[in-house]
Amino acid sequence: MKTLCAWCKTEMVAGENRADEPISHGICAACAQEILHLEREPLRTFLGRFHGPVLLVDADGRVITANQEGYAALRKAPEKTDGNLGGDVINCTHARKPGGCGKTVHCKTCTIRLSVNDTLLTGRAHVKVPAYMDLYQITGETTVRFLITTEKVGDTVLLRIDEAKPEDKE
């Protein structure tokens, strides 16, 4: 099996390169070292090399920082994102309920929360996992379908939003 770094796409384990060969993802030592030793502003620069929105999340579910595409996808500036709980950052409808993000009955089944927590606990990456969230917007509640990827880096998780689109209402 071929293993690619989920962040820089470098092949990590050499092997036969057949077209039908399955591909697994991880994070290469160079990317992990760079992420672990950078401060916030250089970290944003590093995250900026990745395509698509990428957030760095801590064990409490707080967004540490993001790349520019991450802030653009969230439609929020760094000062409204960094240090805040993930549900608050993405405007999860349930984060607005008593108890807040991570403390409602809905949080126990949140695919994004479960994927981040599992990655933190086991070190196992999750690649393009479907997740559905009810998001609060000024015009009302909207259900959004996400595809997310998680990768453990030290005591944090890199969360990439591979896709986000509103669900069709029938």
* Tens digits of residue pLDDT in 49-78: 788 899 999 989 999 999 999 999 988 999
What CATH superfamily classification does 2-166 receive? PAS domain (3.30.450.20)
Q: Considering the entire predicted model, what is its pTM? A: 0.74
Domain boundaries, the chain: 2-166
Q: What is the pLDDT of residue 41?
A: 55
Residue 15 pLDDT greater than 60, yes or no = no
Classify residue 155 as exposed, middle or buried by CB count within 10 Å of its CB (0-12, 13-18, 19+).
Answer: exposed
Q: What is the pLDDT of residue 138?
A: 61
Looking at residues 140-153, what average pLDDT do you find?
Answer: 87
Residue 37 pLDDT greater than 90, yes or no = no
Highest mean pLDDT among 81-85, 98-102, 164-168: 81-85
Lowest mean pLDDT among 35-39, 57-61, 159-163: 35-39
Looking at residues 99-112, what average pLDDT do you find?
Answer: 89
Q: What is the pLDDT of residue 126?
A: 94
Looking at residues 31-52, what average pLDDT do you find?
Answer: 70
Residue 7 pLDDT greater than 90, yes or no = no
